[in-house]
Amino acid sequence: MLKVGVVGLGRMGGIHLRNYTEMPGVEVVGVVDVDAKAREAVAARFGVRTFATLDELLAFEPDAVSVCVPTFLHHEAGMRLLDRGVAAIIEKPLAATAAEGEELVAKSREKGVPLMVGHVERFNPSIERVKSLLGDDVISVHIERVSPYPVRIQDVGVIKDLGSHDIDLIRYLTGSDIKAVHAVASASFGKHEDSALIAAEMENGVLAQITTNWVTPFRSRKISVACKSKFVVADLIAQSVTEYSPFSETDKTYSVREWPVVAREPIKAELTAFLDALRNNTPVPITGEDGLEVLKTFERIFAGLNK
């Protein structure tokens, strides 16, 4: 039986908590939030202990904790958990700055405590299918992730909120780090950017482009990967994947294959993988170092935007 907790009871914290309560072999020893009404709501729904401070949760000696507080609080909560030997899964992005991310990674190494970052799109079944279809002949990756303006986001712009998913995905899908990255962005409705185009060249030569914004009246999450041997398209919301063969000179057409994808809740798969790694003493699938690379990429992007 693994003892787990959740820090932060906003939208993501509530999803983490629900999933933990549905898992066999897991005991939720408590949840933390400064908002008394949020604590009352989850206590009534899930029957779990609630606390106003992290110290109160730590007194129950959890094995693992989900950190789902606002980004600027990730470093403080993560450092305290790791220093106490508690494995942590921190919602993306890992921290507010690369310097804070480096401290979290260093503390994880020092204490020998697992640290995972919640880049949940890796557990989207359509992404897993796309990854399985790719070989070493990838030419380019294009990702579109757009939405209406989110009232819930106040502390960061679209690059750090939505773009963090796709900066991680281009590293994951290409199996390569980012060699060069450039971006253009605009802020139409607030102090943070709400529309951005990001272009990158990977160390292995693959080109990547990310289109992201909060100015579209609907949600869209799509990815296309051009390879020498195929062209792969995925809809991350519909969880569908289509593969196109190279153009046939004989038939003057492309062959098309719809790949089966078993729909599931990505966060449940993510948390299951996290806890399985703890049980089996194996590396977590998305490391602190992975999250740190995203933070370093943010800083390269914003350095270019602020010139």
DSSP string for residues in 236-289? TTTTEEEEEPPPBTTTTB--EEEEP-----HHHHHHHHHHHHHHHT---SSBHH
Can you give the pLDDT at residue 153? 65
Can you give the pLDDT at residue 293? 98
Q: Which CATH number fits domain 122-264+297-305: 3.20.20.100, 3.90.650.10, 2.60.120.10, 3.30.360.10?
A: 3.30.360.10
pLDDT in tens, 231-263: 999 999 999 999 999 877 777 778 899 998 988
Can you give the pLDDT at residue 307? 75
114 neighbors 108 (Cβ within 8 angstroms): yes
Task: For the chain, list residues with pLDDT below 50.
Answer: none
Can you give the pLDDT at residue 246? 82
Helix (H, G, I), strand (E, B) or coil at 302: helix
For 170, other C-beta atoms within 10 Å of its C-beta total 25
Distance CA 64, CA 182 (A): 37
| 54: CB partners within 8 A, 6+ apart | 7, 32, 77, 80, 81
Q: How far is CA 291 from the centre of its chain?
A: 9
Can you give the pLDDT at residue 254? 81
pLDDT in tens, 193-234: 999 999 999 999 999 999 999 999 999 999 999 999 999 999
Domain with CATH 3.30.360.10 in the chain: 122-264+297-305
Distance CA 284, CA 48 (A): 27
Give the architecture (CATH level 2) of 2-119+267-284: 3-Layer(aba) Sandwich (3.40)
User: pTM score, two decimals?
Assistant: 0.94
Domain with CATH 3.40.50.720 in the chain: 2-119+267-284
pLDDT in tens, 257-284: 999 898 889 999 999 999 999 999 999 9
